[in-house]
Amino acid sequence: MHALICGSMAFDTIMVFQDRFRHHILPEKVHMLNVSFLVPEMRREFGGCAGNIAYNLKLLGGSPLVMATVGDDFAPYQARLESLGIAQQHIQRVPQSFTAQAFITTDLDDNQITAFHPGAMTQSHLNRVADAKQVSLGIVAPDGRDGMLQHAREFKAAGIPFIFDPGQGMPMFNGEELLAFIELADYVAVNDYEAQLLQERTGLTLDAIAGKVRALIVTRGGEGSQIYADGERLDIPCVQAEAVVDPTGCGDAYRAGLMYGIMHSLGWLKTGRLAALLGALKIARRGAQNHVFDRGAIAAMYLEQFGERLW
């Protein structure tokens, strides 16, 4: 059976400014800002929530199906997915558009200025969940607004359990819409900031949200994560990473672990630990898809970290 991953496919163009923004942005002149930063260091990474989740799930031995809309410039990403053996039949090209992409400039203090172009992502509602076959679990990850609303309803109508993962798409929805997502979803996954925003917009506590779904998962960065399920809260510690290099894509790696654990009935403790391990592997490498592992390596790391077999 497959995991259907509804979300964005994107290119991330990352540039490094070898100075500090504060030396070039005058507070008293922000009303007439006109600055230019020389960025001799630049790299282009493969990203997007759906792409990142699928990448990690594939490395675990899972069978991800990506459902996304992309632009005319998608060819390099297409070639990458082919090399990884990730199915593309539900990735739809939107003519005369760009694939979603972020342009990120970082200074020496790790401050960032980001411009995001959604491009073809805004047309994600062109895809239909019903077109995907043999799906046992889905996820509605950050994507076009209309697509996220539609895919949540379609998962429910098809009887396919799914994770609602609003991520950076949270600001697009009001309290009533977020409540509707929670009512439709089987699982909700957010980070600690998003959890606070979700509570404020819906008027529900975390315990109340958890009571409406099979599980509520809250990631807390270096403080680990919490899984609310079966009337209890399970605290999952953070796994010590080889190095802390780049947090981009850590949440997506964690969600791939969640999906694998749910699909293989690993139980919440083992599922949370696997997800945390994937996050630690990701943070040690730059970019969202440059860490590499296989099932044997994951099993060995899991045994070393937790003193028990993973599978």
Structural domain contains residue 286: yes
Question: What phi, psi does 208 have (nearest 5°)?
Answer: -70, -40
What is the pLDDT, as a whole number, of residue 27? 78
Among the residues of the chain, which ranges form H helices? 49-59, 75-84, 145-158, 175-184, 192-202, 206-210, 250-263, 268-283, 295-306
Task: Please provide the average confidence, as pLDDT, over all residues in the chain.
Answer: 94
Q: pLDDT-based confidence at 111, cuts 50/70/90?
A: confident
Pairing of strands 41-47, 10-16: antiparallel
Q: pLDDT-based confidence at 311, cuts 50/70/90?
A: confident
What is the pLDDT, as a whole number, of residue 35? 83
Q: What is the mean pLDDT of residues 133-144?
A: 97
Residue 82 belongs to domain with CATH number? 3.40.1190.20
Q: Beta partners for 163?
A: 139, 187
Greatest Cα pair distance, the chain, in angstroms, is: 60
Q: Angle at the Cα of 104 (from 240 to 283), degrees rounded to 5?
A: 10
Q: Which positions ≥6 away from 72 have C-beta within 8 Å?
A: 93, 95, 96, 97, 98
Share of the chain above pLDDT 70, in %: 99
Q: Beta partners for 260?
A: none
Structural domain contains residue 18: no
Total tally of structural domains belonging to the chain? 1
CB contact at 8 A, 248 and 241: no
Please give the radius of gyration of the chain, using alpha carbons only, rounded to the nearest integer.
Answer: 19
Structural domain contains residue 16: no
What is the pLDDT, as a whole number, of residue 207? 97
CB contact at 8 A, 206 and 232: no
Q: 31 burial class (0-12, 13-18, 19+ CB within 10 angstroms)?
A: exposed
Structural domain contains residue 20: no
Structural domain contains residue 83: yes
Residue pointed to by tokens 């009303």:
31
Q: Beta partners for 240?
A: none
What is the pLDDT, as a whole number, of residue 245? 85
pLDDT tens for each residue of 234-291 = 999 999 888 988 888 999 999 999 999 999 999 999 999 999 999 999 999 988 999 9
Whole-structure pTM value: 0.94
Q: Which two tokens stand for residue 184?
A: 């439709």
What is the pLDDT, as a whole number, of residue 54? 98
Q: Is the pLDDT of residue 91 over 80?
A: yes
Q: What is the mean pLDDT of residues 138-142?
A: 97
Q: Is the pLDDT of residue 29 over 80?
A: no
Q: What is the mean pLDDT of residues 37-63?
A: 95
Structural domain contains residue 268: yes
Buried b (16+ CB within 10 A) or exposed e, 166-189: bbebbebbeeebbbbbbebbbbbb
Q: Which positions ≥6 away from 274 have C-beta within 8 Å?
A: 257, 260, 261, 266, 298, 302, 310
Nearest to 259 by CA among 274, 237, 238, 249: 274
In angstroms, the CA 177 to CA 114 distance is 27
DSSP characters over 182-240: HHH-SEEEEEHHHHHHHHHHH---HHHHHTTSSEEEEE-GGG-EEEEETTEEEEEPPPP
In angstroms, the CA 281 to CA 239 distance is 9
Structural domain contains residue 230: yes
Expressed as residue numbers, the domain containing 165 is 2-8+47-89+125-306
Structural domain contains residue 113: no
